[in-house]
Amino acid sequence: MAALLALILLILPAAAVAAPPNIVILFADDLGYGDLGVYGNPSIRTPNLDRMAFEGQKWTNFYVGASVCTPSRAALLTGRLPIRNGMMSAKNRVLFPDSLGGLPGDEVTIAEILKPLGYATEAIGKWHLGHLPQYLPTKQGFDTYFGIPYSNDMDKTPDAPKGPELWKHPKIEYFNVPLMRDERIVERPADQTTLARRYTEEAVRFIRQHKSERFFLYLAYSSPHVPLFRSPPFAGVSLRGRYGDVVEEIDWSVGRILDALRDEGLAGNTLVVFTSDNGPWLIFDEFGGSAGPLRGGKGSTWEGGMREPAIFWWPGKLRPGTVQDLGSTLDLLPTIAAITGAKVPADRILDGYDLSPALFGAGKSPRNEMFYWRGDKLFAVRLGRYKAHFYTRSGYRHRQATAHEPPLLFDLGVDPGEQWDVAAEHPDVIEKIRKLAEKHKASIRPVKDQLLERSPTALTSQAGISTKVIRLEAAN
């Protein structure tokens, strides 16, 4: 009997490891590489994210698929560069409240590969992949949705002040952004001072409701994107001002979610990933974040626009430490497929890799390159430690790109701030990157531009969304 019990105890841990884990992705909006304590910020306190990094993995060369909101979100959920599915445009950089397009229905999301395995799925927060009914999360593999359909600075009202005054003294009523439950508006304008709290409460409720099932939770915070709103308990708490207050509230939210997983006994079978959609919006000065040692910010293909903080957490499963290998949000879909047994679509090109070797200490990340697209042009390519810029342009304000021949070349191992052009010293590296770029561009096929078409009636007549003010009787 004792021998049988010992055998059972040996078998149980192996079975637990083999069980497909729950998946939680926490996605900030416009958070910079240098905005967390564990990434070196001297003014913003992020104890929960710091602890998450110490217990898990902190990645230092982790990239998003684009330097602005809409295409970056498409890249994360599909594992495909947005140039492949029309979610990156030469004219419009993101979707707007009058846009007619969205993530095409034939694209396959993380939620959709997990549904056949019995996963409960919920999207919370900022969507920004199409607000018309056919593009909402409930049409992209998510059972339920609670959040805002696009950025929190959109739908500005006619009486909203112009210029810096709007960001220095934002008011809820200046932004007629709707808060949605599934496909129905429940509040308009959304009370942005309570969004982080309500997103968190919704996430905790979802975790507890589905604790006996497998689940996928995608929580995309609508902050620290401007305008900066925070709840009263976080007003004035940070040395970094209002921006720091907002980031510290996100940190509180992450802590609540991780505590819920611990309390429900789910921490050992839940992979949690925290990162951001793009770099800091530098044109807003103190109301934007910091890229730390990196050059540039949101909107640009400099490192500060697309290299992001990234933390992976799965107690007892991941190999804790700092990972300097390359990784990307593009890799999340194939990685999640590998660790859950989900099937990836075989009828299209995926731009992601399975990061399991690096996550579990079995080897290196298979990613050795990164492509930096802006609109319909490939601006830069990273191969190993070197990055070549064929074009450069600041994130905002400058209308024209600067072409470089030969391309600028930076050794990101020595020079992550991209200050010292070493092209003259490494013509062989430039030639390798040129060939890689040409091969990659040859794989891109023309598709419908989903960001191009816009109509002033899109929000009302096509989405069935009224522009009138809607008050939620019982805030979640």
Residues catalogued as catalytic: 69, 128
Which of 433, 403, 405, 408 minimizes the C-alpha distance to 418? 408
Strands (E), 211-285: 215-220, 270-276
The SS3 call for residue 38 is: helix
CA distance 386 to 372: 13
Residue 413 tokens read as: 């191992």
Tell how far CA 157 is from the center of its chain: 28
CA distance 383 to 409: 11
DSSP state of 345: P
Residue 229 tokens read as: 């709103």
Asked if 270 and 261 count as a contact pair (C-beta separation under 8 A), the reply is yes
The contacts found for 442-449 with CB under 8 angstroms, 24 or more apart, are 443/349, 444/83, 444/84, 445/84, 447/84, 447/85, 447/86, 448/86, 448/101, 448/104, 449/86, 449/89, 449/90, 449/91, 449/101
- Whole-angstrom CA distances from 382 to 33, 367, 411, 436, 458 are 18, 11, 10, 10, 39
